[in-house]
Structure 1
Amino acid sequence: MDTQLWTITVEQPFLRTRCSLGEGPLYDHRTSTLHFIDIERNKLYHLDIRSSELKVEQFEEPLTCLSLRKDGGLACTTARGFAVIEDSSTLRYLSQPIPEEHQAFTRFNDGACDSNGRYVAGTLASKEHNIVGQLYMYDPADNSSRVIDPGPFTDCNGLGWSADGRTMYLTDSFVNKIYAYDYEDGKLSGRRVFVDPLSHGLPEGTYPDGLCIDNAGGVWSARWGGSKIIRYTPDGAVDLQVVFPTALNVTACCFGGDNEDQLYVTTAHCGACGGDAGRQAQYPDSGDLFVVDLSGQFRGGRWRHDFTA
């Protein structure tokens, strides 16, 4: 990559969470709370940004991404499907659409809700079992779920919409691509490559993970194995990188804070997802939560919405 690229370096974590697979940060302005998950340890974290109080819920199965509910509380995908989170760390399933014969070999991963409260989320491929990643939609208007893009995808990841809702972005991690679609009333068309990170000089063996979008339409893509976040302009050019020298696997990011100008960043342990745990000594803060102060520079956009069920 261009060595003259605008670079922000974050040397220390904001909170030492020691997650195995930290993911899914979601900021709730109503309560000034940052929610995030540890997929491999079945944990859901709630961090009160104003008081720094951290609460942890333990579940019996993995949560993989989160959504705010319109009337308060959280919805999620788990490994098996779409659910809402009830009191006492329990789940109420709305749909479990993965075919029964595939459930042992794949799971849901990342997702988000569109402006009508439809929950879009994708699954992981299993090459050994000839299962491809697919993109699903749960529509609370009629309590239905369906495949909206059969792929084949390797690892459905960072997903969100442009401010006008007419473009949807989807990351396919292990092919190193972020796609864009035309999006209208829950229907996808015109899938195309928005960015090919390797063409920008990012190294082989690093992959795009979660994303968020700022109020200028810039797409912030976390880089698994790359110790950084890359910002892409709306036309797909690279103009900024945020570097985390002490964390290898940067997994996801979201804007939050009173002015939407704090970027909260989750990371994963070097041994997560079958990785090399021996690298943890070199990247000791892998698994911790970071924050990037972007006041006066960038603010978050409206790229995901509330779940209406």
Structure 2
Amino acid sequence: TGLYGADGAFSWLVHDPVPGRRGNDAAVAPDGSLWAGTMRYDEAEGGGTLSRIAPDGTVSPVLDAVTVSNGTGWSPDGRLMYYIDTPTRRVDVFDVDGERVVNRRPFVTVEHGHGWPDGLTVDAEGCVWVAFWDGAAVRRYTPDGRPDLVVELPVRRPTACAFGGAGLRDLYVSTARTGLDAPHPLSGSLLVLPDLGQGMPGTPFGG
């Protein structure tokens, strides 16, 4: 994990290479820390991690033995953290206890046929939006875990979602074309879905 300065110069924040492993999704917590996940290139079970990186570069392991570390986000009040390890077909939720998270439990269990949960974002109402790899959709869940909106997409592999644009009301969805024999022309594009909700301002990394 590295930083680019205002002059474009690069410096390492954390440099701990592990053969066969790479970074996969990260998010900044309300306290300005960076929560970064990893996975193995071969997607071997238990080969990934989730770590908290403090503004001073101190790394604290949070989860080990995850497989494909993916979406991470926080409730509007900062008291809950949501997290996806994709092969589990779950979105899990933790209680935030200072710099730690505790009491992991399922928030949503995804039915077969909906694809695989990938990236997520949390809106101003506390609803959790999840992009579904091989599911051709983004799905929104209420704060109590109920599905209440499905946004169908023309592409098979959406990867992540985030609010932006004027007033943070447009949903931006990244997509992939890798591994597809006949990808849709928009696969691999960044899609913009206007006026779909109300996002929250992001927190900059504190380092």
User: TM-score under structure 2 normalisation?
Assistant: 0.92
After TM superposition, list the pairs within 5 Å mapping 1:254-269 onto structure 2. 254-269=162-177
Instruction: Give the count of matched residue pairs.
Output: 207
Q: CA RMSD in A?
A: 2.0
Alpha-carbon distance in 2 for matches of 1:254, 1:113: 13
Q: Which has the higher helix share?
A: 1
Aligned to 2:197: 298
Alpha-carbon distance in 2 for matches of 1:123, 1:227: 24
Q: Which amino acid aligns with 1:207?
A: W
Shift of 1:174: 1.5
After TM superposition, list the pairs within 5 Å mapping 1:70-81 onto structure 2. none
Alpha-carbon distance in 1 for matches of 2:85, 2:121: 15
Q: Which amino acid aligns with 2:106?
A: V
Q: Which has the larger radius of gyration?
A: 1
Shift of 1:256: 0.9
> Any unmatched runs of 5+ in structure 2?
none
Check the 8 A contact 1:97/1:145 in 2, yes or no: no
Check the 8 A contact 1:105/1:129 in 2, yes or no: no
After TM superposition, list the pairs within 5 Å mapping 1:207-222 onto structure 2. 207-222=116-131
Alpha-carbon distance in 1 for matches of 2:34, 2:192: 27
Residue 53 of structure 2 is aligned with which of 116, 138, 148? Answer: 138
Aligned to 1:279: 182
After TM superposition, list the pairs within 5 Å mapping 1:58-77 onto structure 2. none
Residue 289 of structure 1 is aligned with which of 167, 184, 190? Answer: 190
Query: CA 1:88 to 1:225, structure 2 compared with 1: closer, same or farther past 3 Å?
Result: farther
Shift of 1:104: 2.2
> Any unmatched runs of 5+ in structure 1?
1-81
Q: Which amino acid aligns with 2:59?
A: S
After TM superposition, list the pairs within 5 Å mapping 1:1-309 onto structure 2. 82-86=1-5, 90-98=9-17, 103-125=18-40, 132-141=47-56, 143-150=57-64, 152-198=65-111, 202-203=112-113, 206-245=115-154, 247-269=155-177, 272=178, 275=179, 277-280=180-183, 283-294=184-195, 298-302=197-201, 304-309=202-207
Q: Percent identity?
A: 34
Q: What SS class does the counterpart of residue 167 from structure 2 fall into?
A: coil
Alpha-carbon distance in 1 for matches of 2:148, 2:43: 38
